[in-house]
């Protein structure tokens, strides 16, 4: 074999070998940081479940960082947000240190990716900039000073400045989700209506309401204690260059095995697609074969996607 051919052959062999290398595959994974450690919810379970869903998809390399316990020294909580493609917030607790607040805002403002999961939108009611990052929040003293209510009338979003507390929910139940934007990368290819498994439905949320793309809403049925309004439940947020995905679903159950809202294949699919979009601005993962239908709930009991 002539020398040129030998070199060419060696180069092709290296290319083939590295394209199947697990090391290279790992380096292509998006880097996600889950933040937890305080919450009025069952965070010891929820942050492990979020990690399982993201890591078992093979799309993400996942780190978890826990804050000190309530009342602890927050100067010790100092994440390197900039090392990550996306930060997943599973946190509702004591205010961070000023330097961590500033680092987080720098990360978000330079175009960072953020996922706001369930009660993370209860956090930091008095932090004005955080409320712009979540667009809508609830509880922790939120009221008309926090911004309007946002809900849908005949499919059109309305702002309601009427007085009243921000944040409530009726009894947990199965409920249908209604797609409001089928062209967004996160929703493309998913059914217009799908049945979510037993969960809370957040309603009467308030805030600056700077929703960019409303993706799903649900009807908060007054028969089970809801607001009687069509409520925004999954959306992206308009905040400069940042990519922010807010999912209000996913109330955490008592254990990994007894956790229907997070075991719902619809919740897991939306979490994965929203987190990929927040990390990259694109969604490349295929529509899964086990997505719920308009009548039938579907579960991934072990948080494993169907391709595994
Ligand atoms: Zn909850």
pLDDT at 308: 65
Length of the chain: 308
Domain annotation for the chain: domains and CATH numbers: 2-280 (3.40.50.880)
pLDDT at 95: 98
Ion ligand 1 residue ranges (Cβ < 5 Å): 200, 251
Measured in Å, residue 162 CA sits from the centre of ligand 1 at 25
* Mean pLDDT for the chain overall: 93
193-219 residue pLDDT tens: 999 999 999 999 999 999 999 999 999
- Residue 307's pLDDT band (cuts 50, 70, 90): confident
Cα–Cα distance, 189 to 200 (Å, whole number): 26
> How many CB atoms sit inside 10 A of residue 117's CB?
27
165-195 residue pLDDT tens: 999 999 999 999 999 999 999 999 999 999 9
Measured in Å, residue 281 CA sits from the centre of ligand 1 at 28
Contacts of residue 107, Cβ cutoff 8 Å, sequence gap at least 6 = 81, 82, 87
Measured in Å, residue 206 CA sits from the centre of ligand 1 at 17
Measured in Å, residue 233 CA sits from the centre of ligand 1 at 13
Measured in Å, residue 84 CA sits from the centre of ligand 1 at 27
- Residue 1's pLDDT band (cuts 50, 70, 90): very low
46-89 residue pLDDT tens: 999 999 999 999 999 999 999 999 999 999 999 999 999 999 99
The residue ranking higher by pLDDT, 125 or 9, is 125
238-274 residue pLDDT tens: 999 999 999 999 999 999 999 999 999 999 999 999 9
Judge whether residue 15 has pLDDT over 50.
no
Measured in Å, residue 168 CA sits from the centre of ligand 1 at 10
Q: Can you spell out the DSSP letters for the chain?
A: --HHHHHHHHHHHHHHHHHT-HHHHHHHSEEEEEEES--SS-HHHHHHHHHHHHHHTTSEEEEEEEPPPTTS-GGG----GGG-SEEEE---SS---HHHHHHHHHHHHTT-EEEEEGGGGGS-TT-HHHHHHHS-B-STT--GGG--EEEEETTEEEEE---S-S-EE---EEEEEEES-TTSTTTTTS-SEEEEEEE--EES-BS---EEEEEEEEE--GGGT--SSEEEEEEEE--TT-EEEEE------SSSSS-HHHHBHHHHHHHHHHHHHHHHS---SPPPTT---SS---B-TT---TT-
16-44 residue pLDDT tens: 444 444 444 556 899 999 999 999 999 99
Assess contact for 211 and 232: CB atoms under 8 A. Answer: yes
Cα angle value 225/230/231 (rounded, 5°):
80
Measured in Å, residue 165 CA sits from the centre of ligand 1 at 17
- Residue 306's pLDDT band (cuts 50, 70, 90): very high
């Amino acid at each position: 074999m002539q020398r040129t051919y030998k070199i060419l052959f060696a180069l092709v062999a290296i290319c083939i070998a590295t394209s199947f290398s697990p090391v290279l595959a790992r380096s292509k994974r998006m880097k996600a940081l889950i933040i937890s450690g305080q919450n009025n919810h069952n965070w010891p379970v929820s942050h492990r479940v979020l990690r399982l869903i993201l890591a078992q998809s093979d799309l993400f390399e996942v780190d978890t960082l826990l804050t000190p316990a309530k009342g602890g020294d927050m100067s010790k909580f100092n994440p390197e947000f900039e090392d990550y493609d996306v930060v997943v917030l599973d946190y509702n607790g004591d205010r961070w240190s000023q330097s961590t607040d500033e680092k987080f805002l720098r990360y978000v403002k330079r175009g960072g990716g953020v996922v706001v999961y369930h009660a993370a939108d209860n956090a930091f009611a008095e932090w004005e900039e955080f409320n712009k990052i979540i667009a809508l929040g609830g509880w922790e003293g939120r009221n008309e000073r926090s911004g309007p209510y946002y809900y849908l009338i005949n499919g059109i979003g309305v702002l309601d400045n009427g007085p009243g507390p921000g944040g409530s929910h009726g009894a947990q139940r199965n409920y249908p989700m209604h797609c409001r934007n089928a062209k967004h990368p996160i929703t493309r290819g998913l059914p217009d209506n799908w049945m979510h498994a037993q969960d809370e439905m957040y309603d009467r949320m308030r805030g600056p309401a700077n929703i960019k793309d409303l993706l799903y809403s649900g009807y908060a049925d007054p028969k089970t204690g809801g607001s009687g309004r069509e409520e925004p439940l999954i959306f992206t947020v308009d905040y400069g260059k940042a990519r922010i995905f807010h999912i209000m679903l996913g109330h955490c159950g008592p254990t990994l095995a007894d956790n229907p809202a997070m075991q719902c294949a619809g919740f897991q699919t939306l979490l994965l697609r929203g987190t990929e979009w927040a990390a990259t601005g694109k969604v490349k993962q295929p529509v899964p074969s086990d997505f719920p239908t308009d009548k039938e709930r579907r579960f991934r009991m072990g948080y494993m996607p169907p391709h595994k």
